[in-house]
Each structure stands twice: as structure tokens, then as C-alpha cells.
Amino acid sequence: LQLSAALKDALINDQFHLVYQPQLNLTDNTIVGAEALLRWDHPEWGAISPAEFIPLAEQNGLIVKIGEWVLQQVARQQKQWLSKDLPEIIVAINISALQFHQQNLVERISKIVEEAGVSPDNIEIELTEAVALKDPEVAGKTIDALSQQGFKVSIDDFGTGYSSMSYLKRFAVHKLKIDQSFIKDIVTDIDDQAIVTAIIQMAHSLHKTTIAEGVETQEQIEFLKLKGCEEIQGYWYSRPLVTEQFEAFLLASN
Ligand code: G
Ligand code: G
Ligand code: MN
Ligand code: NA
């Protein structure tokens, strides 16, 4: 309860910041994008994990304001990077269930991006399978509307939800993010190998790309390359970085 109450002050008192985890294209070894991840530094309690506070923010409804703050930060950041002549990249943000199912979501986030003066083309919206499938008909319309506005849409933690494969065919989803639980033991576990191979093949049949999450070793990369996975994200390439570090990373990788 204390934590939930403190969340209300966190936005006002500027206790949130974003870190950016770079994403690598395996085909040409260039940086393609980054995932923006939220961090909360409480003045007394220190760093609190989003795994802990996001569910609370979902419960008390603050996640909508927080999610809009995240998008605004990302869009402003991209505008700044462009004016500094840094390479243009796609930044992915996580959208929670409550925010996704909000009325006028598409208008609201389009407005935030427009006000920042950037194009939706460089913003990727990550939805979990649970979010996308809660009400597939409604979700499908929202996904298609986002896509029509120019946003990219990806399915996060793919493979962990109850996926009905038919929705993937119908929705304007661009990318599947293969959950890190399947990647962890991929070099030795033949079941994980089978699952990841199937996900990549299915994604390709449906004209979608794949990114593997939680990649930590070169051996994992070799397997993923062999199977045609396009992109990776994980500690092997980079941990999530604060803005200044990320800018340096961006410059160094070009
Ligand atoms: O970055 P980290 O591993 O600590 O993130 C833990 C969890 O919190 C992940 O599931 C991640 O998707 C989620 N998360 C991180 N940042 C955000 C955010 O800005 N919004 C939402 N809704 N979830 C986030
Ligand atoms: O649920 P989502 O995929 O949005 O969460 C991503 C989370 O995974 C972040 O909290 C991030 O810190 C974490 N993460 C990113 N790369 C790695 C990795 O290589 N290994 C592990 N164990 N965690 C990672
Ligand atoms: Mn994510
Ligand atoms: Na994930």
C-alpha cells in the first residue's frame, strides 16, 4: 500500500527515468533499435524494479499516465537524437493492458508523438500476448489502427501466453519477441530448440520478423542465425543503458 501511494508522487517528483537496451540486426551487424525500460529511483528505498511496481501501477490505474510519460520521453529523446545527427533507430516501448484497452488510445499516443515532432515510424509498441488476446477482436482493431498510423507493433514475451495462431495472421503485427525463457538453455535443450525453431518458421510464413530476447552468449547467436532469426536483444550485445551511455553506444556502432 505504501509503495502504491509512493507511485503517485514518483511521476510528479521526477523519480522515473528510462534506460535503453540496444537491439542488433544479425544480418548486417548494425544496431536496429532499442527497448525503453522504465526505472524508478525512490529517494529512501532506492531502485525499485518495474517487475514490482508495474503490477501496482496497473492496479491503481496510474499505469496509463506512466505509459504516456514513457512515450513522451521516448519521442522527445528521438527528436533530440535526430537534431544531434545520431543514427535514426526504432525505439520500442511496453504498453500495459490497461493503457492498451483505454478509449482513444491511438489518438492519444499519436498526439504525444506529433507534439514531440517525430514520426510514428520510429516507435514500436510492445504488447504481451495476454494483452493482445484479452479481447482479440477489439485488440485487432487497435493494432491495425496503430499500424495504419505508422507505428510498429510487436508481441512481447512471445510463446509464454495462450496464443491462438489465427490472430497473428489477421493482426498487423510486425515482429515477435521470443521470450528469454526459451533462449536461456537453447544451446543444450532440444525442446527449447524445437519451440524457437517453430516460432521463427511460423513468423516467417506469416511475413513477420523475430527478435530473440535475453541473448547472453555467442553460441546462442550461432543457433539463432542458423534458424534465420533476424535480431537479438540481451546482455551479449548490451545491457540497458542510461541516455548518455546509449548515445555513446549509438555513435560507436556506426
Ligand atoms: O527491465 P526489467 O527486466 O527490469 O523489466 C521488468 C519488467 O517490467 C519487464 O516485463 C518489462 O516489460 C516491464 N517494463 C519495463 N519498463 C516498462 C514500461 O515502461 N511499461 C510497462 N508497462 N512495463 C515495463
Ligand atoms: O518483459 P520484457 O521483455 O519487456 O523485459 C525485458 C527484461 O529482460 C528487462 O528487464 C531486461 O533488463 C531483461 N534482460 C534484458 N536482456 C537480458 C539478458 O540478456 N539476460 C537476462 N537475464 N535478462 C535480460
Ligand atoms: Mn518488452
Ligand atoms: Na519479453
The tens digit of pLDDT for each residue in 106-148 reads 999 999 999 999 999 999 999 998 887 778 888 999 999 999 9
The pLDDT assigned to 11 comes to 93
* Run of H or E including 88: none
Nearest bound ligand to the CA of residue 49: 1
Measured from the Cα of 213, ligand 2's closest atom is 16
Q: What is the mean pLDDT of the chain?
A: 94
d(CA 110, CA 104): 10
Cell of 96: 500495459
Distance from residue 95's CA to the centre of ligand 1 (Å): 9
**Domains in the chain: ranges and CATH:** 2-252 (3.20.20.450)
Q: Is the CB of 214 under 6 A from ligand 2?
A: yes
User: Is this model's pTM higher than 0.95 or not?
Assistant: yes
| pLDDT tens string 153-193 | 999 999 988 666 777 888 899 999 999 999 999 999 999 99
- For the CA of 51, the nearest ligand: 1
Q: Residue of the nearest CA to atom 12 in ligand 2?
A: 240
Please tell me the distance from the alpha carbon of residue 39 to that of residue 16, in angstroms, as a whole number. 6
Q: Of all residues in the chain, what percent carry a pLDDT higher than 90?
A: 87
Pocket test for ligand 2, best of 19, 129, 213 (most atoms within 8 A of CB): 213
**Going by CA atoms, what residue is nearest to atom 21 of ligand 1?**
94
Q: What was the ipTM of the complex prediction?
A: 0.96
**Closest-CA residue to 74 (of 43, 137, 117):** 117
Which whole number is the average pLDDT over 96-103? 92
- Is any atom of ligand 2 closer than 6 Å to the C-beta of 22? no
CA distances from 251 to 17, 78, 85, 89 (A): 21, 14, 10, 12
pLDDT in tens, 8-64: 999 999 999 999 999 999 999 999 999 999 999 999 999 999 999 999 999 999 999
